[in-house]
Amino acid sequence: MAKAPNKVREDARKLFLTGESSSNAEIALRLRLKPHTVGEWRRQEDWDALKLKVEQRAAEKLVERLSNERVSLNSNHFKLWNFVITDLVKGLRSDDSEEKVKLLERVSAIIDRAQKGQRLARGLSLDGQTEEQIRAEATANNHKLVDLFLDLVKTQVQDPELRDRLARALLEWVPADASEVQPEGGN
Could you report the per-residue pLDDT of 90-110, keeping only the tens digit for each? 766 777 777 777 777 887 788
CA distance 73 to 86: 20
CA distance 27 to 175: 31
Q: What pLDDT, on a 0 to 100 scale, did the predictor assign at position 133?
A: 73
Q: Domain boundaries in the chain?
A: 6-45, 65-128, 130-175
Percent of the residues in the chain that have a pLDDT greater than 70, as a whole number = 84
**113 falls in which pLDDT band (50, 70, 90)?**
confident
**Cβ neighbours, 10 Å, residue 59:** 10
**130 falls in which pLDDT band (50, 70, 90)?**
low
Is residue 3 helix, strand or coil? coil
Amino acid at 25: A
* CA quadruple 64, 66, 69, 75: dihedral, nearest 10: -90
Mean pLDDT, the chain, as a whole number? 78
Q: What pLDDT, on a 0 to 100 scale, did the predictor assign at position 10?
A: 92
